[in-house]
Chain A
Amino acid sequence: MEDTPLLFAGLDVRFMVEIFPRMVQALLVTVQISALALLLGIVLGIPLGGLRVIGPRPLQLLIQGLVSYIRGTPQILHFLVVYFALPGVGILLDEYWTGVVALTVIAVGYEVEIVRAAIESVHKGQREAALAQGMTEPMAFWLILLPQATRRMLPALTNELINVIKASALLSVIAVNELTKVGNAIIYNTFYFVEVLLEVAVLYMLVIGALSWLSNYLENKVFSFGTALSTPETR
C-alpha cells in the first residue's frame, strides 16, 4: 500500500506530503536569510540614509551614486560580484554568508532611499527647532528626526522584505539551500515537475501574500494619518 500513488487532479498527493517537511525547512532558510539581509540592510541603511540627507555634499553624491548603481543593475550581477570579489580580496565565506552579503547589498540600495524619504518627510520645522535648541545636526538626526521617521518606514520595509525574499530565489545559482534550490534538487532527483513547482510556488505565495497584507494593514490602519512611504516593487 505504501507506494500506491494517491492522485488528486493528476497530482501525486502522497509525494507532495512526503516532501513537505523538507520544503518547509527550505522556506525557513529563505525567510531567515532574507530577514538577516533586511536587518543588516537597516543597520547600514540608517547611517547611509542619514548621511545622504545631512552629510557633506561629496558624501551625499557618493551614496547617491552607490544607490543608483545597486538599483540600476540586475540583482543577479550583485551575486556574481560578491561571489567573485570577496574571495578576490581575501574574504572567504561559505555559500550561506555569501548569499547574506549579496542580499544585504541589494537591500541597502533600497533601504537608503526608504530612510532618506522618511527623514525628508518629517516636517522641516522639527529640524529647525532642534537646531534652535542648540543641538548639532547629528543630534537632531538621532534624537528628533529618526524617531519620527521610523514608524513611516515600517510599511516600506515590509515591502522591501518581500523584494528580498523574491531576490533570494537567485541564491539557488550559488548553491544556497533555499526554497527554489531545494525544489530544483527534488525535481532533478524525482522528475515530479508539477508537484514540486506547485508546492514551491504556493509556499512563496503564502509568505509573500501575508507580508503584503501586513504592509497594506500598516499603511492603512496604523498610519491612517497619512504619511506612510511606498517602495518600488522588484522581481
Chain B
Amino acid sequence: MGEILPRLLRALATTIQISVLALLLGTVFGLLLGIARVIGPRLFYPVIDGYIFVVRSTPFALQVYAAFFLLPRAGIDLPLFVVGVLALLFNSVGYQIEIVRPALESVDKEQREAADSLGMTRWLAMWLVILPQAARRMVPPLTNELANLVKASSVLSVIAVYELTRAGHAIIASSYKFAEVLILVAALYFVTIQLLSWGAAYLERRIFTYRSGQPI
C-alpha cells in the first residue's frame, strides 16, 4: 500500500486540478448565463432553461462520451485531459446557473428599487448592488459544487483521463491487488469530499450568522 500511495496522490492532484478548473471556468459561464437568465432579454430564457434541462436530464457519462466522440469529429483535436475538463464544464455550468439565479433573486427587491431611484441602469445595478450581495450567498453552494465535481470527475476515467479512479483501475489491472487499491482510492475521495462538504457547511454558518438571522 505504501508503494502505490504516491501514485494515487499524484492522480488525486489531477482529480482536484480538473475539478477546480471546471469549477472556476464554470463560475464565469454560470455567472454570465445566470445574470442573463434574471435580467437578460426574455428571448434567452427558453434557451438557457433548455440547456439546463439537457444537462440535468441526461447522464453525465453520456455527456462525457458525447464530448469524446463529437469534438474530434468536428475537427477539434484536444488532449483527453482537456476533453474531460470541457465535458465537466458543460455539466457544471448547468448546475451553477441554478446556484447563481436563486442567489441573485434572493437579494431584497428594495435594493434594486433603491438603485433604480438613484438613476442606475439595470445592468449597473446588477453589477454594483445586487451581485456583490448575492456573491457571498453563492459561496457555500459553490463549495458543494466542487465536492460534486470531484465525484463527477471519476466518470472521466471511461475516456482514459488519468485521474484517481483511472489510476486505481490501472494499478489493479497490473497488480490484482484490488482490495488495497480500492480502499485507498475510496479513502482519498472520502477525505477530500468530506473536507469540502464541511467547508461548505462552515461557510454557510458563517454567512448566516453574519446576516444576523436573516434568511439567506
Write the residues of chain A forming the contact surface with B, with a CB cutoff of 8 angstroms: 68-69, 72-77, 80-81, 84-85, 88, 162, 165-170, 172-173, 180, 183-184, 187, 193-194, 197, 200-201, 204-205, 208-209, 212, 233-235
Task: Report if B127 contacts A (CB, 8 A).
Answer: no
Q: A72-B193, A74-B165, A235-B152 are in contact. Are A209 and B57 (CB under 8 A)?
A: yes
Q: A72-B190, A72-B193 are in contact. Are A81 and B59 (CB under 8 A)?
A: no
A205:B59 contact, CB within 8 angstroms: no
B155:A170 contact, CB within 8 angstroms: yes
B182:A80 contact, CB within 8 angstroms: yes
Which residue from A68, A194, A208 sits with its C-beta under 8 Å from B194? A68
Which residue from A72, A77, A172 sits with its C-beta under 8 Å from B182? A77
Q: A80-B182, A197-B69 are in contact. Are A169 and B53 (CB under 8 A)?
A: no
Task: Report if B62 contacts A (CB, 8 A).
Answer: yes
A73:B193 contact, CB within 8 angstroms: yes
B182:A184 contact, CB within 8 angstroms: no
Q: A88-B179, A200-B62 are in contact. Are A173 and B165 (CB under 8 A)?
A: no
Add 11 more A-B contacts to A74-B151, A204-B57, A234-B151 (CB < 8 A).
Answer: A72-B190, A80-B165, A165-B59, A166-B58, A168-B59, A169-B59, A200-B62, A204-B58, A205-B57, A205-B58, A209-B53
Per the bound structure, the CA–CA distance linking A167 and B152 in Å amounts to 11
Residue numbers in A under 8 Å from B194 (CB-CB): 68, 72
Produce 1/0 per residue, B73-107, CB < 8 A to A.
Answer: 10000000000000000010000000000000000
Write the residues of chain B forming the contact surface with A, with a CB cutoff of 8 angstroms: 53-54, 56-62, 65-66, 69-70, 73, 91, 148, 150-155, 157-158, 165, 168-169, 172, 178-179, 182, 185-186, 189-190, 193-194, 197
Residue numbers in B under 8 Å from A197 (CB-CB): 62, 65-66, 69-70
Pairs A-B, 5 closest by C-beta atoms: A169-B59, A74-B154, A208-B57, A169-B61, A235-B60
Question: How many A-B contacts if CB must be within 8 Å?
Answer: 116
Within the complex, the shortest CB–CB distance from A82 to chain B, in Å, comes to: 10
A235:B186 contact, CB within 8 angstroms: no
Which residue from B62, B73, B172, B179 sits with its C-beta under 8 Å from A201? B62
Residue numbers in A under 8 Å from B69 (CB-CB): 187, 193, 197
B178:A88 contact, CB within 8 angstroms: yes
Q: A80-B168, A88-B179 are in contact. Are A173 and B158 (CB under 8 A)?
A: yes
Per the bound structure, the CA–CA distance linking A118 and B154 in Å amounts to 31
B172:A184 contact, CB within 8 angstroms: no
A74:B190 contact, CB within 8 angstroms: no
Q: A72-B193, A76-B165 are in contact. Are A205 and B53 (CB under 8 A)?
A: yes
Residue numbers in B under 8 Å from A72 (CB-CB): 189-190, 193-194, 197
Per the bound structure, the CA–CA distance linking A170 and B179 in Å amounts to 21
Within the complex, the shortest CB–CB distance from B185 to chain A, in Å, comes to: 6
A194:B152 contact, CB within 8 angstroms: no
Counting chain A CB atoms within 10 Å of each CB, the highest count among B56, B59, B70 belongs to B59
Residue numbers in A under 8 Å from B91 (CB-CB): 235
Q: A81-B182, A184-B65, A200-B62 are in contact. Are A76 and B172 (CB under 8 A)?
A: no
Per the bound structure, the CA–CA distance linking A165 and B69 in Å amounts to 22
A166:B185 contact, CB within 8 angstroms: no
Residue numbers in A under 8 Å from B178 (CB-CB): 84-85, 88
Which residue from A77, A88, A170 sits with its C-beta under 8 Å from B185? A77
Residue numbers in A under 8 Å from B179 (CB-CB): 84-85, 88
Within the complex, the shortest CB–CB distance from B92 to chain A, in Å, comes to: 10
Q: A80-B182, A169-B62, A235-B152 are in contact. Are A73 and B57 (CB under 8 A)?
A: no
22 A-B residue pairs with CB within 8 Å: A68-B190, A69-B186, A72-B193, A74-B154, A74-B165, A74-B189, A77-B154, A81-B186, A84-B172, A166-B60, A170-B61, A170-B158, A180-B59, A180-B62, A197-B62, A197-B66, A201-B62, A204-B59, A205-B53, A209-B57, A235-B59, A235-B148
